[in-house]
Amino acid sequence: MPQFFLNKRLIILLVSIIILVALIGFSIRERDELSWAEKFVKDTTGFAQSLVATPTQYVIGIFENMKDLQNTYEENKELKKHLEDMARLEAKVYSLEKENAELAEILEIEGSIGDYDPMQATVISRSPDRLWHEMIIVNKGSSHGVEKNMAVMTARGLIGKVKSTTPFTSTIQLLSALDPTNRISAALQGDKKLFGTIEGYDKENEWLLLKGLPVDAEIEPDQMVVTSGLGGVFPGDVPVGKVVEVVPDQFGLNQTAYIKPEADFYNIEHVMILTRGMAIPEQIENDEENEGEDL
Amino acid sequence: MKRYLIPLLLIFLFIFEGLFTQLFPADLFNGDYIFVPRFLIISIFFLAIYGSVKHGIIYGFLFGLVFDMVYTEVIGIYLFLFPLATYLFITIMKVIQTNIVLVSFVSLLSIAFLEGSVYFMNLLIHITDLDFTSFSEIRLVPTLILNLIFIIIAAYPFKRQFEKFAEELRND
């Protein structure tokens, strides 16, 4: 028995396994904020990463511009066609927006859940540990006003949410992460709005899963899916993707829709972090808590 | 200046891994395969065998911790596995002769061990529920191919650099 305890290597191994379990337990629980040590390390590496990333992206930009030049003629023809439509559309949008504002004023509605302020950010790094951790790191942090759980999109659609922030960087978890706790409240646009939650990712087809849709709902392919704005932090009406296929779920109580995401999860350079325009009614939450205490 | 060369090289490789993942054309082969750069741990293996074992394990420990904090946000997995993989690598190398081809082969084997252990740990803490066959098809094999290419390019320069470092250590 004493020999067992004298075995130095075994002791080191045992102690490190205990530390390992403790550290993993510490870091995978739901945390509101990172510890100061993590923030310091992430900010320092973030600074070094942006030092390297900025010139590299500049050089790559030059090459991409050259590649774009090759099909300028074709694109130009196509764009001219769109331009005529654009002018008409722009006039229509302007008059609709004005009308909407006037009507809202009459009804005394302040803001809608669809309102948001976009904040530009540039990707400085991506986690190499892909498949397990689909994360990107961007150059805007809590000192710029980024908060945990904010929605993140590219020009084409939603890509994920803010997982954690440090003063100068923030980490974004993409929708393509296999993490089962990655859930987003979404709605199907149609005559009648249908709500469900986006949870899970089909790696093979690169589809998102929209679960919890009512079993009797008629859902057609190509219907648009947007965020619902009911989760509290996300703004509403951010495009997510289009329905590809609908299947009944395991027990036949709900339907699951497969969604082809609008955004590309691979080549992300610039992202927009969305700050919800309409404030979350904290007052009501507090009232409810007080009532609970009274009871 | 020479004293800081190795930490600087490792820090550069650490940042380069993130940049490589960001810039690598991921839609290559339809985006079906995931290529994970493991350049940092390769250089740590070479440092341990041609430089000094002690330095190799300490750097493995340090960079494992930073890797966990920055790239995964789950502290512990790489902190534990980087030194363990380095130790395993050294233990195997003690038995066979240190010839550059064998060193390259065993470091590739150790990367496979590292990838496999990371997979099992993630399975254990429910970060993933992928089965082993899909894992090896999507991630393990492409990763080994990518890192084999890196080893072929970098093995000789690494060897020379770390041997110089070992000589300096002896002179001190």
Q: What six digits make up the tokens of A170?
A: 């923030």
Instruction: Give the span between the Cα atoms of A215 and A33, in whole angstroms.
Output: 39
Q: Do A137 and B17 touch (CB under 8 A)?
A: no
For residues A26-32, give the mean pLDDT: 80
- Output the domain CATH number for residue A214: 2.40.10.350
Phi, psi for residue B157 in degrees, rounded to 5: -60, -40
Size of interface A-B (CB pairs under 8 A): 124
Q: Break chain B into its structural domains and give their ranges.
A: 2-15+37-164
Q: Which residue of B has its CA nearest to A26?
A: B75
Q: Give residue B27's pLDDT.
A: 66
The better pLDDT of the pair A2, A108 is held by: A108
- The string of pLDDT tens digits covering residues B121-138 is 888 887 777 888 888 888
Q: How confident is the model at residue B1 (pLDDT cuts 50, 70, 90)?
A: low
Please give the tally of structural domains in chain A.
Answer: 1
pLDDT of residue A5: 56
Instruction: Give how far B68 is from chain A: nearest CA, Å.
Output: 10
Range of the domain at A198: 183-272
User: Which of A129, A147, A286, A260 has its CA nearest to residue A201?
Assistant: A260
Cβ contact A131–B31 (<8 Å): no
ipTM (interface pTM): 0.85
* Region A205-232 average pLDDT: 83
Q: What is the pLDDT of residue A228?
A: 84
CB distance A127–B66 less than 8 Å? no
Signed CA dihedral, B5, B114, B123, B20: sign only:
positive
Distance to chain B for A210, nearest Cα, Å: 19
pLDDT of residue A291: 47
Q: What is the pLDDT of residues B34-75, one digit of tens each?
A: 889 999 999 999 999 888 888 889 999 999 999 988 888 888
Classify residue A196: in a domain, yes or no. Answer: yes
Which pLDDT band, with edges at 50, 70 and 90, does B111 fall under? very high
pLDDT score, position B43:
93
Tell if the CB–CB gap between A125 and B15 is shorter than 8 Å: yes
Tokens representing B120 are 């099992």
List pLDDT tens digits, range A116-159. Answer: 888 899 888 888 888 888 889 999 989 988 888 888 988 888 89
pLDDT top residue among A236 and A121: A121
Token pair, residue A38, equals: 């993590």
